[in-house]
Structure 1
Amino acid sequence: MEQRIQVIGVPLDLGANRRGVDMGPSAIRYAGLKKRLQNNAINVRDIGDIFVPAPESRIIENEKLKYLDVIKDVNTVLADQVSEALKNNYRPVILGGDHAIAIGSIAGVSQRVKRMGLIWFDAHGDFNTAETTPSGNIHGMPLAVSLGYGAPELTNIGGFVGKVKPEDVVVIGLRDVDLQEKKMIKQSGVNAFTMHEVDRMGIKEVMEQALKLVTKNTDGFHVSFDLDVMDPMEAPGVGTRVRGGLNYREAHLAMELIAETKKMISLDMVEVNPILDQGNRTAELAVELIASALGENIL
């Protein structure tokens, strides 16, 4: 069957502590996303960007949940667009923007899929709440929100709380986790493979275990890929660099194994920051990884 992809841009930078990721969707498009996918015989429909107001036009009312109302509104729109794309038999590819957009992506998928799995690639836990956050930045909260922890304004997007079950969630690439996040991640029951496990087991074994977990009792899975899971030598254009991440081939193999399952429902590619990048390298990497996840092969 023909692969039908709907590209949705979300130039949101209000969830982060550094400007620039709002230009991420444009950078990924400029790096040749549509042409790359079309060259692989994929039907690509790009519906443009969701409107996001500039931070300068808003006042932070809660230092523990910065720009909460705007992030809620943007993610509500995104959830509707993702749900509509799936209804029309398109696979959503969502371009960020900061990782707070995953709240809307996952909410949209959950409206169309009875039980979903989730693979979360990230150097960070993204498991904070207003009670634990050291910064108040909501891009450090989306995984917790999707599991039902945190502000009701966010957890209720899509009409119900708890979009995914902890046993159906796998986090890959962790290496910079806040103290309270460590406790919450362990208590939540999600499956986590830190870079220690990647180093010891190898990415092939990690992915085989991860894919078994997210497909065991589900109707498919969503992939949320934060480019900061990569080593900064590979992806310099991200907001929060952490040394010791995935290398180029590890990331590609992970995405290639995902494609082989033919069970990926949708994909986020987030945290590309062109201001911090070198010649759009990180956006070009994002395009390559998206192509691999959608089935591009070497031969």
Structure 2
Amino acid sequence: MSALRARCPHCRTLTAVAFDDVYECHSCGAVFGAGLVRVPRAWGDGGETMAEAARTELAYPEALVVERDTLDEQTDVIARGLPKRPLVLGGCCCAHIGAIRGLAARHDRLAVVWLDAHGDLNTPESSPSGNLWGMPLRMAIDEGSVRPADVALVGARDLDPPEREYVAEHGIDDDLSRALDGADAVYVALDLDVLEPGQLPVFMPAPGGLGLDDVERLLLEVASRGRVAGLGLTGLAPGADRAILEGLAAAAGL
């Protein structure tokens, strides 16, 4: 499917067409602030529930559905087919790699706000589990799509020792000003396990998280500081309230 044309969530026709940052449906006239990129795959053991949750219906035109056999293929297809302003609904956080790569190619300096209970900064050598979903932020940094100085890691509270060493060495913290000042645009990678357990059904809940109000306020703050080029929602389990997800996207200006 072309990134310029998408399926309208209201009338279900392939007549939602991209104009600048928005989609407008030629059939029913509805206007949307982003194109939906659906990535129903989780790269690790036992992630089938995350993949299932990535099929949650959202009130955004479906511009791209990516199902590939390898993470490299998935990342390449996302990066090349990304709509101008994407709302990524992924199984695991590996969906963010392609989004960051694609958006970085469009901007001189892309910042990334990564909201997650976990660091996602492992490598194949440092990972205790070997699950690729514990590595995507590190992959995006190591491939040069985003600099450590342009990353804010917010809500992380379950980092492995090598991840703690990495953030200390590279000065990565939760300071939005440090990451966003001077950036042309920002991508927000929101793993919903950043929330306090019980707020939404998530795959890897961790105590001590943020409330929904906290996340909404943070998204509003990010949007007030500059251009949100895209938002990714990942880490869900089935049964998430779609109105809450759509509300978070709206807070980010999508």
Choose the corresponding residue for 2:182, options 212, 217, 220.
217
Question: d(CA) in 2 for partners of 1:96 and 1:262?
Answer: 24
**Judging changes above 3 Å, is the alpha-carbon distance between structure 1 residues 72 and 290 closer, same or farther for their aligned structure 2 residues?**
same
Distance in structure 1 (CA, Å) of the matches to 2:189 and 2:36: 14
Question: Cα offset for 1:178?
Answer: 0.7
- Separation in structure 1 between the aligned mates of residue 20 and residue 104 of structure 2, nearest angstrom: 24
Identity %: 28
Task: Tell me by how many angstroms 1:9 deviates.
Answer: 0.3
Instruction: Name the structure 2 match of 1:266.
Output: 230
Equivalent residue for 1:77? 77
SS at match of 2:78: helix
The residue that corresponds to 1:233 in the other structure is 198
Equivalent position SS for 2:155: strand
Q: CA RMSD in A?
A: 1.9
- Tell me: CA distance 1:285–1:110, structure 2 relative to 1, closer, same or farther (3 Å): same
Residues 215-251 of structure 1: CA deviation (Å, up to 9, x unaligned): 322211111000000011202x211110110012111
2-structure distance, mates of 1:253, 1:283: 19
Counterparts of 1:11 and 1:18 in 2: how far apart (Å)? 10
Segments of structure 1 that go 5 or more residues without pairing to the other structure are 35-43, 54-69, 149-160, 194-208, 275-279
More helix by share: 1
Which residue matches 2:63? 47
Write the letter of the residue equivalent to 1:14: W
Structure 2, unaligned stretches of length 5 or more? 1-18, 23-33
DSSP-derived class of the 1:250 partner: helix
Residue pairs, 1:1-299, within 5 angstroms: 3-4=21-22, 5-15=34-44, 17-27=46-56, 29=57, 33-34=58-59, 44-53=60-69, 70-82=70-82, 85-86=83-84, 91-148=85-142, 161-190=143-172, 192-193=173-174, 209-210=175-176, 212-235=177-200, 237-274=201-238, 280-294=239-253
Deviations 1:70-96 (A, max 9, x none): 1111111111112xx22xxxx111111
Q: Is the 1:116–1:168 Cα contact (8 Å) retained in structure 2? A: yes
| 3-state SS of 1:99 partner | coil
Bigger mean CA deviation after superposition, 161-170 or 119-128: 161-170
Amino acid at match of 2:168: K
Match of 1:152 in 2: none
CA distance in 1, matches of 2:93, 2:231: 12
Q: Deviations over 1:264-298 (max 9, x none)?
A: 11111111110xxxxx2354432221121126xxx
SS of the residue 2:76 aligns to: helix
TM-score (norm 2): 0.82
State the TM-score, normalizing by the size of structure 1.
0.70
